[in-house]
Amino acid sequence: MAKLYFKYGAMGSSKTANALITKFNYEERGMKVWLIKPSIDVRDGADVVRSRIGLSAHADIMTPDKNLFDEYQNHPDCDVVIADECQFFTSKQIDQLRRIVDKLDIPVLCYGLRTDFLTHLFEGSRRLFEVADSITEIKTICTCGKKAIVNARIDGEGKVVTEGGQILIGGNDSYVAMCHSCWQNAIEQQLK
C-alpha cells in the first residue's frame, strides 16, 4: 500500500541529495520516477534539481496553478513521485499529491524545509504535517554541534535577518542552519 512521505530538514541537511539518491535507487530497479519541483525554485535552472554535493537530474516544473493529480495523468507509467522543495507547494497541491497516493496507490516522497527563517511553517510543509503517512527528519548540525532546526537568513554582512518576506531563494550564501540557541544568541548580540 502506497504512502505519502514527508522528509524534512534544515538547510544543508542533504534533502535534495537524499531525493536524488532515492530516484537513482528506483531507476536502478527498473522503475520509473516522476521528479517534480515548484516553479519558484530556479537556483540551478528552472527544470533542474541539484544537490550541493553535485548530484543533479531533470525535473518537471509545477506552477502554483497546476493540479498535480491531473499532471500525473501525463505520467501514468511512473512507479513513484518524488517532490523536491515541497515546502513551496500550495496546500491544495499537497492534497493533490495525497490523492495520487489514495486513488492511484502510487507512493509520493516529498523533501523540503519545515520552517522559514523566522521559524514559521511553510504552507506546503504545514499541510504535509497534517496529511503525510510518514514524517522523517533529516538531521544536520549547527556550528556548535547541536542539532540545527533554524534556517537562519544571513545578509551581506553576515548578520541574521529578522524581517522580510517568507521566501528568498538562496543557498549557502543566504542561509545557515543553526540550533535555536545560537540563532537567538546571534539576534541578541546584534541588538546590543
List, for residues 92-142, the tens digit of each pLDDT value: 999 999 999 999 999 999 999 999 999 999 999 999 999 999 999 999 999
Helix and strand numbers (H, E) in the chain are 5, 10
Q: Which residues contact 134 (CB under 8 A, 6 or more apart)?
A: 3, 4, 5, 6
41 is written with which cell numbers?
525554485
CA atoms within 13 A on the CB side of 173: 5
| pLDDT recorded at residue 143 | 94
Q: What is the mean pLDDT of the chain?
A: 91
| pLDDT recorded at residue 144 | 96
d(CA 40, CA 104): 27
Q: What domains can you pick out in the chain, each with its CATH number?
A: 4-137 (3.40.50.300), 150-191 (no CATH)
pTM across the whole model: 0.92
| pLDDT recorded at residue 44 | 67
Active site positions, annotated: 85
- State percent of the chain over pLDDT 90: 72
- Which CA distances in Å does 26 have to 30, 32, 107, 139, 155? 7, 7, 12, 23, 39
| pLDDT recorded at residue 107 | 98
91 is written with which cell numbers?
496546500
Listed in order, strand segments (DSSP E) in 33-89 are 33-38, 48-50, 56-58, 60-62, 80-83
d(CA 29, CA 42): 30
Q: Which residue has the cell 537562519?
A: 152
- 56 pLDDT exceeds 90? no
Single-letter amino acid, residue 4? L
| Contact present, 44 and 50 (Cβ < 8 Å) | yes
- 159 pLDDT exceeds 90? no
| Contact present, 49 and 99 (Cβ < 8 Å) | no
Band of residue 76 on the pLDDT scale cut at 50, 70, 90: confident
Q: Which residues contact 118 (CB under 8 A, 6 or more apart)?
A: 162, 166
Q: At what angle do helices 91-104 and 123-131 cross, to 10 degrees?
A: 30
Name the β-bridge partners of 48.
Answer: 58
